[in-house]
């Protein structure tokens, strides 16, 4: 079994639970997708900030289009942190069953159906769990 942890720009931390969900011997990669960066039009300082985060993470940086690089790995399983980035979501969708998307620890719990139309309607439901330390749980 070859397992890969695909690190992306929304989760630049070895403390993310994706690292405990994946096997210890999983290959850890980040994909530097120049076309995607051009689409985002990130400035030099944003690129440098991300590279500095990666420098602390002991991760292989691979260059190329995200979907192509992921396919080229020929991995049996790919683990990645959850993201809302449309391009990453598309790549995850294309991976199919071999991908496991790992959620971070939740910040708050709010009841299903909570009115999200304005912040304070959400906050009134979220406040109690937001003010609890993580170790105590919401």
Partner 1 sequence: MAISSNIRRGPIRLTPDMDRAAIAALARTLSPHLRDDDRYVSETRGGRAEANVRLAAIDPVAYGRTRNHLDGAVTQLSSFITHGVVSLPDVRDRVLGAVDDPAEAQKMVQQLAWRDYWQRLYRSLGAGIWDDLEPYKTGFEPSDYADDLPDDIKNAQTGVAAMDHFISELLTTGWMHNHARLYLASYICHFRRIKWQAGARFFLTHLLDGDPASNNLSWQWVASTFSHKPYYFNLDNLQRFAGDNVDTAYHRNKLLSGSYEDLHLRLFPNLPPIVPQPNKAKT
Q: List interacting residues with partner 1 (CB under 8 A).
A: 9-13, 15-16, 29, 32, 34, 37-38, 40-56, 58-65, 68-69, 71-72, 81, 84, 86, 104-108, 116, 119, 122-123, 126-127, 130-131, 133-135
Q: Residue with structure tokens 């406040």?
A: 127
Cβ proximity to partner 1: between 45 and 97 the closer is 45
For the CB of residue 21, give the shortest distance to partner 1 in the complex, in Å: 15
For the CB of residue 50, give the shortest distance to partner 1 in the complex, in Å: 6
Cβ proximity to partner 1: between 50 and 100 the closer is 50
For the CB of residue 27, give the shortest distance to partner 1 in the complex, in Å: 10
């Amino acid at each position: 079994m070859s397992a890969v942890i695909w690190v992306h720009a929304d989760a630049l931390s070895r403390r993310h639970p994706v690292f405990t969900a994946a096997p210890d011997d999983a290959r850890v990669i980040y994909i530097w997708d120049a076309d995607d960066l051009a689409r985002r039009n990130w400035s030099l300082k944003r690129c440098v900030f991300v590279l500095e985060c990666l420098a602390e993470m002991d991760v292989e940086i691979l260059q190329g289009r995200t979907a192509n690089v992921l396919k080229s790995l020929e991995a049996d399983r790919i683990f990645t942190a959850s993201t809302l980035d449309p391009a990453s979501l598309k790549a995850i969708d294309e991976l199919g069953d071999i991908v496991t998307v790992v959620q971070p620890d939740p910040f708050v719990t709010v009841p299903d159906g909570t009115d999200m139309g304005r912040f304070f309607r959400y906050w009134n439901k979220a406040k109690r769990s937001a003010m609890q330390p993580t170790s105590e749980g919401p």
